[in-house]
Amino acid sequence: EEKEKEKEKIEKKNKKQKKKEEEEENEEEDNRQIITIIYDKKSYAKYYETLKNEIMGNFTNFDVEEKEYPLPSNKQFFSKITFFTQMGISLLVFSGQKIKDKIPMIPPSFFDMIEKNKWFVIISNFVFHQWLNKNLSTTGAFEIYFKDKIIFSKLSSNKLPKERDIHSELKKINKKYKNRNKGKKKKYVDDDDDDFDDDL
């Protein structure tokens, strides 16, 4: 009978130890402190690297990962359209006099005006579409997340994050997780005390 009781105690202790190890593993996975920055890589690649180095230099327990902020579908659509508008204007500049009789809905004076101002139209067409393509291919986003919680949004604030703002948020996160971990450590101590009582 004593052997059975001793065996039960050992099994109970082993179960508690296994449970404790599993909880610690889950806690470690859950506490992976990863900052995700989803941003416009065409506009803010250098700024991302600077901010990443600042975060990891001051908060060694954080990892930083990056993602490209997706281009909205309307911008994708219009960026494709711009190719055809640029080509269409170029066609009017170089072939307008040849085709003006074939397009009766457009007044001949319009083609004559383009012909007189050919170089101005060519340069304006190029500059305008360069500017348009740049704006349609960027999002202006610099969104910072901790897990599912957003801690900064350039799209909402219309400004890039300052180091002190991010540090303030990360300190709050650190404090929260330290407090939570203290509670879990106390629980483990209590469990160990129970084992000690059992042994007594």
Q: What is the pLDDT of residue 98?
A: 76
Q: What is the pLDDT of residue 182?
A: 55
* CA pair distance 175, 132, nearest whole angstrom: 46
**Average pLDDT of the segment spanning 47-69:** 90
CB 13 within 8 A of CB 199: no
Residue among 43, 122, 35 nearest 86 (CA): 122
Directed axis angle between helix 163-199 and helix 41-58, to 10°?
50
85-121 confidence digits (pLDDT tens): 988 888 888 887 777 777 777 787 888 888 888 899 8
Q: What is the pLDDT of residue 1?
A: 62
Report in angstroms the alpha-carbon separations of 77 from 43, 72, 88: 20, 9, 17
**Average pLDDT of the segment spanning 138-151:** 91
How many CB atoms lie under 10 A from the CB of residue 74? 9
Does the pLDDT of residue 31 top 80, yes or no?
no
CB 37 within 8 A of CB 144: yes
Q: What is the pLDDT of residue 127?
A: 92
CB 33 within 8 A of CB 58: no
* CA pair distance 17, 196, nearest whole angstrom: 13
Report in angstroms the alpha-carbon separations of 106 from 14, 86, 97, 103: 89, 18, 12, 6
Q: Which two structure tokens, joined as six digits, stand for 91? A: 């066609």
152-182 confidence digits (pLDDT tens): 999 999 999 888 888 888 888 877 766 665 5
The residues with which 37 forms a beta bridge, in sequence order, are: 66, 144
Q: What is the pLDDT of residue 196?
A: 34
Does the pLDDT of residue 186 top 90, yes or no?
no
Q: What is the pLDDT of residue 144?
A: 95
Does the pLDDT of residue 82 top 80, yes or no?
yes
Directed axis angle between helix 108-116 and helix 73-99, to 10°?
90
Q: What is the DSSP letter of 142?
A: E
Does the pLDDT of residue 195 top 60, yes or no?
no
Q: What is the pLDDT of residue 32?
A: 62
Instruction: Give the pLDDT band of residue 143 (cuts 50, 70, 90).
Output: very high
* CA pair distance 143, 152, nearest whole angstrom: 6
Residue among 67, 176, 82, 78 nearest 125 (CA): 82
Coil vs helix vs strand at 180: helix
Rank 30-44, 131-145, 165-179, 182-196 by mean pLDDT and report only the highest.
131-145
